[in-house]
Amino acid sequence: MRPMRNLLTAGLVLAWSCAFAQLASVLERNGSVSWEFFGGQYTVTGQLINLSGSVDPSGEALVFSFQDLNGDGVALDVRLSAADLFPSIGINYTIDLVGTVVSDSASEAIVQWFASDNPNRCEYVNIGGVEVQALITRLEGSLRGRITRIECQPDPLGARQGFVTLRIEPTGGDAHNYLLAQGYLLCQQDPQYFATARIFDMDWLAYGGGSAGGDVDSNGCVDDADLLSVLFAFGSDQGGCADVNGDGIVDDADLLTVLFNFGSGC
């Protein structure tokens, strides 16, 4: 009896796993995330400087659109400005964060975003409340997010149009969530002016997912279940993810999206 019970349990777990798409795939398919930085800590060290303090929150959520910037076939990369990420620091430089799926399942996924560049350019930066010029020779950043499913809902950060079905929170500690900048104060290429700045203890949150392409239940397949969800909610302004295009009402546009993509991913 016990072997049969274990077999049935394993079968149910397998069936449940197959009923939902892997979360990193859902994140990628929906094309973007909302992201907000709530604060962190910083240090600036060198022969002439030794500072530490708090980094101010970004103040508003941003929307990051996914691209395949490195040509690996995975569209989870993000091109953004460091000044948008950390306005109080003021490093006005565009970096490419390349997304790598560390682990993926129907219930949880881990994605790492990493960037490394050698700008070799002078920038005005804010150090301890004082704006100074610095020759930035190295810029490196990392974000590692744990992705879990949430109930279909409007974006809690209020930045992304439509509905979200995934929550992304930092994981991996300071080893995987940081910004590192190295260079020369006052743009003087003298060893005594060399300094290292690091942002760590980062508190951030992101939301993504949704029903892009008509996959209302986010199981990776546009099928009769998605069609029925739209039909049952037709005409409603409270249709949740059945409002595929996020325009506030479930209508013929949402129905056509499901029909045009019917069978996709199945």
Over the stretch 102-160, which tens digit does the pLDDT of each residue have? 999 989 999 999 999 999 999 888 877 788 899 999 999 999 999 999 988 899 999 99
Could you tell me which residue, 4 or 66, shows the higher pLDDT? 66
Question: Please, which pLDDT band fits residue 174 given cuts at 50, 70 and 90?
Answer: very high
User: How many whole angstroms separate alpha carbon 99 and alpha carbon 123?
Assistant: 27
CB-facing half-sphere around the CA of 39: CA atoms within 13 A: 3
Q: Is the pLDDT of residue 8 over 70?
A: no
Percent of the chain with pLDDT over 70: 92
Q: For the chain, give the mean pLDDT.
A: 87
Instruction: State the average pLDDT over residues 183-211.
Output: 95
Q: Which of 11-15, 91-95, 111-115, 227-231 has the highest mean pLDDT?
A: 111-115
Radius of gyration of the chain (CA): 22
What integer pLDDT is reported at residue 257 of this predicted model? 85
What integer pLDDT is reported at residue 216 of this predicted model? 85
What integer pLDDT is reported at residue 258 of this predicted model? 84
What integer pLDDT is reported at residue 13 of this predicted model? 38
Burial of 218 (0-12, 13-18, 19+ CB in 10 A): buried
**Cβ neighbours of residue 144 under 8 Å, at least 6 residues apart?**
102, 110, 111, 112, 113, 170, 171, 172, 176, 177
Nearest to 60 by CA among 79, 34, 27: 34
Determine the length of the chain: 266
Helix axes 224-232, 252-260, angle to 10 degrees: 170
Instruction: State the average pLDDT over residues 241-262.
Output: 86
- Give one word for 215, left, alpha or beta, with left for phi > 0 and alpha for psi -120 to 50: beta
Nearest to 143 by CA among 184, 90, 213, 96: 96
Query: CB–CB of 114/97 below 8 Å?
Result: yes
What integer pLDDT is reported at residue 20 of this predicted model? 60
108 membership: H or E segment, kind and range = strand 108-117
Instruction: State the average pLDDT over residues 174-186.
Output: 96
Render pLDDT for 78-106 as a digit per residue (tens, 0 to 9).
998 888 877 777 788 899 999 999 999 98
Could you tell me which residue, 243 or 2, shows the higher pLDDT? 243
What integer pLDDT is reported at residue 247 of this predicted model? 83
Query: CB–CB of 252/243 below 8 Å?
Result: no
Instruction: State the average pLDDT over residues 161-177.
Output: 94
What integer pLDDT is reported at residue 15 of this predicted model? 37
Question: Please, which pLDDT band fits residue 19 given cuts at 50, 70 and 90?
Answer: low
Percent of the chain with pLDDT over 90: 53
What integer pLDDT is reported at residue 3 of this predicted model? 44
Other Cβ atoms closer than 10 A to 128: 11
